[in-house]
Chains A and B, each alone.
Chain A
Amino acid sequence: MTDLAIDVHGLTKRFGDRVAVDNVAIRMPKGQVWGFLGPNGSGKTTTIRMLCGLLKPDAGQGTCLGYDLIADSRQIKRQVGYMTQKFSFWEDLSIRENLEFVARLYELRNIKQVVDQTLETLGLSSRQKQLAGTLSGGWKQRLALAACTLHNPAMLLLDEPTAGVDPQARRDFWDQIHRLAAEGLTVLVSTHYMDEAERCDEIVYIAYGQLMTQGPVSRIIDESGLHTWVAEGPGVRALADRLRGRDGAEHVAYFGSALHVSDSDAAKLDALIASEGGAGTQWRRERPSLEDVFIHLMGQAEDKS
């Protein structure tokens, strides 16, 4: 048996003329939590759907949990829990009915016991007869996670599970993910939140269907070759417009009240900051943040396509 949960290469999917996923390769070891990042419409959802056997790739091959992606999609479905981007359980079924239905589809034994246990862990025992549609966003997300881990999958594929969920629920959710990972579950989770990305063992970044970079957060930052200056102070607002588009300032972005100015060419960046520094701002060099790197990568992807 291989230690890789996901081992695919050349993965390609077209919708008409549009190439949604282009020649993507992922090798992900078992038991890790990986973040799957990229701008909207970059092909994250399509990739995940190919990995869990919902979509047939037009080209490429590989294995998921040791099963062939194309030939064994049924075995893959049995051992993978997939949580869709949009809440996709039955809103006109009660919480209990939803869980029971899922349990029966997976042909679980002791359905009543499993569902009781899950409701207990979720803290939903008292509300089990409530219709799923009446739950708040955070609770829906918890129910969805519980439902897609009901059959003890070996791997979880989560598609933007925390979109539109409040910060506390988001934290709880991630604690849960780490608990599951500690039990040996492999998790691939797509997200737009940098703090979530930083909690992952490794990151896969995809843009316009193409894999841009992959690795641990710190290595991605180091390998980006990016240099960043951070400015703070009352003069920052006027500065932003002045620096944008100038040679030596590849991108200029706010982080809270601070302004990040980044470029691949350290000398040009330093020269620009020296000449345009302006009054009323304090400048300091900083290690680029993950978001700086992503903005940089997105720019590169735009140039390529």
Chain B
Amino acid sequence: MIAPLKRILAILAKEFIQMRRDRMTFGMMIMVPIIQLTLFGFAINSDPRHLPTAVYLEETSPTVRSIVAAMRQSTYFDIKQQVFDPAEADRLLQNGEVAFVVEVPSGFTRGLLRGDRPQLLLSADASDPSAASGAVGQMNEIVRRALNESLGRGWSSLQGQPPLVDVVVHRRYNPEGITQYNIVPGLLGVILTMTMIMITSMAMTRERERGTLENLLAMPARPWEVMVGKITPYVGVGLIQTGIVLLASTFVFGVPFLGSPWLLLACVGLFIIANLAVGFTFSTIARTQMQAMQMTFFFFLPSILLSGFMFPFRGMPDWAQWIGSVFPLTHFLRAVRGIMLKGADATAVWHNIWPLLIFITVASFIALKRYRVTLD
């Protein structure tokens, strides 16, 4: 009995030594649970509050003001600005600058006092149905309480059961609240992130691991020629993936495609470049393909959790939103959803494109700098 135990102990000890030597794996084992605990424990919230809201008020009676105040107090709505033009309100909603627009028509207060049940319009950006649902669900209750306080309890109870105000909710861009409308375009970004980063980081690392990179560089190929030659095929792979996802999105899931396909293609191109730059940077750091895999995972995990793909971006605390804003996926998701679901044009998605451009610049700079170092 004792001999097998001794041998098992010997193997055990060897395994621990190797585990400690392999910094990357060791780091993974420690960091991944910490990252997950932090993200799931603190960052993720499926009932987002403080959602940016614009108000379009055709009249501003004390009653209307009390409704706006009650919305703010509910913590669901963050009244960012007052607009004076319905077109401006549309634009804000389409750009994703606000999640809600509250519209109070003229004659609201008069109608209310007459008992006409005037309408109050709440337009919600439902391209992410789960992000909007909490606040939408609370709206009737918020309005009822505001009126109670504004008009006095006795008066409202006199009117009996049906609410005094008819809260009309417009779920824009996804009126039926279909989850697939949000998930499938987002999936495009997730799939591209995963494969582009993994494939490029592995492809380069493989050349180094097998010693063929040295041979390649001893021949007349210049470093940048090697880089371009190695990366370009994967741009093609990325485009094929894009085609597959878009076909499935349209024909299998029936997701609407309102915007310009060319604009989408341009965004996909930028996003692929951004991910290839990350993959290439990883390939200059990782010594083995295993490490390249691990680094990809390290990047992928927070990308998918903090980008707004799985959980509402606006539901996260500020620090998590800042971290999330670093990842190209975050901006790409907004651009794709904007183009496909909201029919956004180039000016509307521009504020999602420039962060991608900055990311590409920085990541390529690091990649090239690291690349030079590894060659030596």
Q: Which residues of A contact B (CB under 8 A)?
A: 52-56, 74, 77-78, 80, 82, 84, 86-91, 102, 105-107
Which of A52, A56, A84, A105 is in CB contact (< 8 Å) with B376? Answer: A56
Q: In chain A, what residue has the closest Cβ to B375? A: A54
Q: In chain A, what residue has the closest Cβ to B225? A: A105
Indicate if the CB atoms of B220 and A106 lie closer than 8 Å: yes
Assess A89 versus B212: contact at CB under 8 Å? Given A55-B376, A56-B376.
yes
A residues in contact with B222, CB < 8 Å: 74
Q: In chain B, what residue has the closest Cβ to A56? A: B376
A residues in contact with B211, CB < 8 Å: 84, 86-88
Alpha-carbon gap, A77 to B226, bound state (A): 15
Alpha-carbon gap, A56 to B223, bound state (A): 14
Indicate if the CB atoms of A90 and B219 lie closer than 8 Å: no
Alpha-carbon gap, A82 to B214, bound state (A): 10
Q: Is B215 an interface residue (CB 8 A)?
A: yes
Q: In chain A, what residue has the closest Cβ to B222? A: A74
Indicate if the CB atoms of A54 and B219 lie closer than 8 Å: no
Which of B210, B220, B375 is in CB contact (< 8 Å) with A88? Answer: B210
Alpha-carbon gap, A107 to B375, bound state (A): 23
Q: Is B228 an interface residue (CB 8 A)?
A: no
Indicate if the CB atoms of A82 and B218 lie closer than 8 Å: yes
A residues in contact with B214, CB < 8 Å: 54, 84, 88
Query: Would you give 12 A-B contacts (Cβ < 8 Å), ordered by A?
Result: A54-B214, A56-B376, A77-B219, A82-B218, A84-B218, A88-B212, A88-B214, A91-B210, A102-B219, A105-B216, A105-B221, A106-B219
Indicate if the CB atoms of B210 and A105 lie closer than 8 Å: no
Alpha-carbon gap, A53 to B216, bound state (A): 12
Indicate if the CB atoms of B218 and A54 lie closer than 8 Å: yes
Q: Is B265 an interface residue (CB 8 A)?
A: no
Name the 8 nearest CB pairs between A and B, nearest first: A88-B215, A82-B218, A88-B211, A86-B211, A105-B219, A88-B212, A77-B220, A78-B220
Indicate if the CB atoms of B218 and A77 lie closer than 8 Å: yes
Q: Is B11 an interface residue (CB 8 A)?
A: no
Q: Is B248 an interface residue (CB 8 A)?
A: no
Least distance between A48 CB and chain B CB atoms (Å) = 10
Q: Is B217 an interface residue (CB 8 A)?
A: yes
Indicate if the CB atoms of B220 and A105 lie closer than 8 Å: yes
B residues in contact with A91, CB < 8 Å: 210
Indicate if the CB atoms of A54 and B217 lie closer than 8 Å: yes
B residues in contact with A54, CB < 8 Å: 214, 217-218, 375
Alpha-carbon gap, A107 to B211, bound state (A): 23
Alpha-carbon gap, A290 to B20, bound state (A): 45
Alpha-carbon gap, A52 to B219, bound state (A): 9
Indicate if the CB atoms of B212 and A90 lie closer than 8 Å: yes
| Residue with the greatest number of chain B CB neighbours at <10 A, chosen from A54, A56, A91 | A54
Least distance between B167 CB and chain A CB atoms (Å) = 65
Q: In chain B, what residue has the closest Cβ to A91? A: B210
Q: In chain B, what residue has the closest Cβ to A48? A: B218
Least distance between B177 CB and chain A CB atoms (Å) = 49
Alpha-carbon gap, A77 to B222, bound state (A): 10
Alpha-carbon gap, A52 to B222, bound state (A): 14
User: Using a CB-CB cutoff of 8 Å, which residues 357-376 of chain B contact chain A?
Assistant: 375-376
Q: In chain B, what residue has the closest Cβ to A147? A: B215
Alpha-carbon gap, A37 to B217, bound state (A): 25
Least distance between B91 CB and chain A CB atoms (Å) = 54
A residues in contact with B375, CB < 8 Å: 54
A residues in contact with B210, CB < 8 Å: 88, 91
B residues in contact with A52, CB < 8 Å: 218
Least distance between A86 CB and chain B CB atoms (Å) = 5
| Residue with the greatest number of chain A CB neighbours at <10 A, chosen from B216, B218, B221, B376 | B218
B residues in contact with A88, CB < 8 Å: 210-212, 214-215
